[in-house]
Amino acid sequence: MIPPFETAAERLAFVAREVDLLASQIGAPPSQLPTYGRSEDMARPHVEVAGRFLSWVVVERGNEIDRKTTRDLDELLYWIFRSVAAGMASDFAARNPVEGKEFRYPMFRKELA
């Protein structure tokens, strides 16, 4: 639950602080984290706040390709870190191929870790 802030900007800043705290615990690079209140496009997720609603939004080439909305901060954090873990695992697999195994083998192992 997000504390009752006066403005959407304050709520968005609170979410960003929570994400940064969790990201630091797993060593997530900033490039894997969402932006807040605006889209960078190119399929990088961003977070929007409207009233008590929190949205995880993905825009690619000017088209919104995914939007999930909730009132639950934990649910939003799950969506964010599911994406972060997948991105980090993909980066790891690209840097650490396993001979005789396809790309997804090290990626899935790292994502589960």
- What pTM was estimated for this model as a whole? 0.84
Write the pLDDT tens digit of every residue in 50-97.
988 999 999 999 999 999 999 999 999 999 999 999 898 888 888 888
Write the pLDDT tens digit of every residue in 34-48.
999 999 989 999 999
Residue type, 24: S
Domain boundaries, the chain: 8-84
Residue 37: both structure tokens together: 């209140």
In angstroms, rounded to a whole number, what is the distance separating the alpha carbons of residues 93 and 47? Answer: 27
In angstroms, rounded to a whole number, what is the distance separating the alpha carbons of residues 6 and 8? Answer: 7
